[in-house]
Structure 1
Amino acid sequence: MQLTRPPAHHLRPFVRLLWASTPDDAPTPQPGAREHVLPTGGMHLVFRLGGPPLRLFRDDADAQGFTVGYAMVGGTRPAFFVRDVSVETPSVGVMLQPGAARALLGAPEGALADCHTPLDALWGADAGFALEQLHGAGSLAAQLAVVEALLTARLALRALHGLHPAVAHALAGLSGGSVIGELVKHSGYSHRRFIALFRGMTGLAPKQYTRMLRFDRVLSQFALEPHQPWVELALQAGYSDQAHFNRDFLAIAGMSPQAYRRAAPTASRHVPMRAPSHRSNLSKT
């Protein structure tokens, strides 16, 4: 069971989406189960309300992995990560808008990119207080109301600056198909300074962000037309040819397009994978 909705109006410059989920029945453990989590191009704040703490793996061959905790920030990243899904857990999550991390988390996107950060490293004791409040909420809707109140309180503590105008213009331009060089020229900044501004606000360089937009268009269209040939999906999304598409897909998803289709994920960015057979150290962390 999952509830997804946009945030309250005052949070929309900072929050793209709120969600809460819980297993429909008592979950059956599946020892060793894991999945590739494909990037969204955004930053996520997640609270796990049951089961074990989040366990991640450095790659598909990592049998031991490492734990992150029950409240964490998933930074913007250009490629997949691997996580343990052996036990389904109730969770609450927030997908942030570009430029929102400093206001809500106390650190810029660039400092949190490409990794998972325990929330207590950013919020201190407030991270534990947030988990307590969410555990006390009686329904998915109540959990979303709690997390909205927590984020509203965080905003009240900080001076708000929003997106840098050059980055805001670039994000709109890239979504509309503008060329990066034209956006740099329009910004009035040097190429190096423009990239630094963009990365600081989004966690990705402009070329990485553009690549994520193309990848997102492919996944969105694939979800609507799962039997359409990959080459057609790739050309529609803006790839120059199938070889270009195959290279990007492998780099971002950690698998080929054909392997992705065979996996048939029920959620487009959560792809079930087999765990490595050598798991003798898995329970020691």
Structure 2
Amino acid sequence: MALYNLHKKGWFVLAIYYRYSPASLAAYVAFFWFYEGEKPAHTMERRLPDGSVSLVINLHEDRTRLYNREHPERFCEYSGSVLSGAHSTFLLLDTGCLASVMGVVFRPGGALPFLSFPLHEIANTVISLDTLWGEDLRELLLDAETYQQRFERLERFLLARLKETKPVHPAVPYAVRKMQQEYGALPIAGLVEDLGMSQTRFVQIFKEAIGIAPKQFCRIVRFQKTLHLLTKGRSVPLSRLALECGYFDQAHFIHDFRNFAALSPSDYLTRRGEYRNHVALPV
């Protein structure tokens, strides 16, 4: 079992973070993760979009709270185990749910063979797992004595729900690879021509497997590239960064960044923590 302790001292004190990539699910799952530590001082944080579908299991308490982006005083509560669809904007998390938590990050299209519905039905939404699969995954994981055992139980749980008769259309992983290779700067019209199918058909199968439209996914891939470059530690003028990431100009770059993060790049660098897709909000 390949386990990595990737944590450095950040928002949590005495915290641990492990990642595990199960070989049996390599075609579908990017990695499992486990996090445990003290609650941070801030009560909310933004989880920035990366185009992925994920499972999140709160082991500390049987609830997950998400705040309304436009009205943070309002919130929705779910069970402690949720499936989060692909998002095209940030989630506003209650950090009280982050003291002890496990998760699964699916590869693009990797969640589809485990579900009975197309992924676009849960785009930009979160659903409780008890309404999806019935069995209480959270209790199954809590009964394990170590995080290694929890990873093993989670792996068996997913294998039992894998529907190999529901494969993803081969055009989707091909398209995702091309989009990632070009960091989102890929004309969809040219891609569709390479695939030899109509744009309408391509958009349909892409949304079924990924959850969001191809152009939106490309924009998120490009946004993630900008986060990577911003957090590498080198000082680069925003105008140059915009060109490196395929934006028309600095204004286009900042506008797109604000759409995804509701922050300017400079505000993001001031507020971000150790993990680039998590941004603390003031207490």
Normalization by structure 2: what TM-score? 0.87
2:224 aligned with 1:216: yes
The structure with the largest helix share of the pair is: 1
Contact 2:123-2:212 at 8 Å conserved across structures: yes
Which of 165, 176, 180 aligns to 2:181? It is 176
Match of 2:248 in 1: 240
Tell whether 2:115 aligns with 1:105.
Answer: yes
Supply the distance in 1 between the matched residues of 2:131 and 2:237 (Cα, whole angstroms).
45
Say which is worse superposed, 111-120 or 80-89, in terms of deviation. Answer: 80-89
Q: What is the aligned counterpart of 1:164 among 165, 169, 173?
A: 169
Q: 1:273–1:179: structure 2 CA closer, same or farther, 3 Å change rule? A: same
Tell me what 2:94 maps to: 84
Relative to structure 1, the CA distance from residue 39 to residue 263 in structure 2 (aligned partners, 3 Å threshold; closer, same or farther) is same
Residues 195-214 of structure 1: pairs in structure 2 closer than 5 A: 195-214=203-222
Equivalence for 2:61: 51
Name the count of aligned residue pairs. 265
Aligned to 2:160: 153
Secondary structure of residue in 1 paired with 2:268: helix
Q: Secondary structure at the match of 1:123?
A: coil
- 1:21 aligned to 30, 35, 56, which one? 35
Q: Percent identity?
A: 30
Instruction: Work out the CA distance in 2 between the residues paired with 1:45 and 1:208.
Output: 21
Whether 1:72 and 2:82 are equivalent positions in the alignment is: yes
Question: What's 1:136 paired with?
Answer: 143
Given that 2:58 and 2:98 are in contact with CA atoms closer than 8 Å, whether structure 1 keeps it comes out as no
1:41 to 44, 51, 54: 51
Matched residues in 2 for 1:12 and 1:260: separation? Answer: 33
Q: Is the 8 A contact 1:3 1:141 kept in 2?
A: no
**CA distance, structure 2, for counterparts of residue 46 and residue 203 of structure 1:** 18
- Counterpart for residue 12 of structure 1: 26
Range that drifts further, 99-108 or 76-85:
99-108
Q: Is the 8 A contact 2:33 2:104 kept in 1?
A: yes
Residue 252 of structure 1 is matched in structure 2 by 260
Q: Which ranges of structure 1 fall in alignment gaps of 5 or more residues?
A: 276-285
With the length of structure 1 as denominator, give the TM-score of the two structures. 0.86
Partner of 1:282: none
C-alpha distance in structure 2 between counterparts of 1:264 and 1:252, whole Å: 14
* Structure ranking higher on relative contact order (CA contacts 8 Å, 6+ apart): 1
Q: CA deviation at 1:264?
A: 3.3
Is structure 2 residue 96 aligned with structure 1 residue 123? no
Contact 2:58–2:97 (8 Å) recurs in 1? no
Once the two structures are superposed, the pairs formed by residues 256-271 of structure 1 within 5 Å of their partners are: 256-271=264-279
Cα distance in 2 for residues equivalent to 1:174 and 1:242: 22
- Name stretches of at least 5 consecutive residues in structure 2 with no aligned partner: 1-15
* Distance across 2 between alignment mates of 1:115 and 1:227: 36
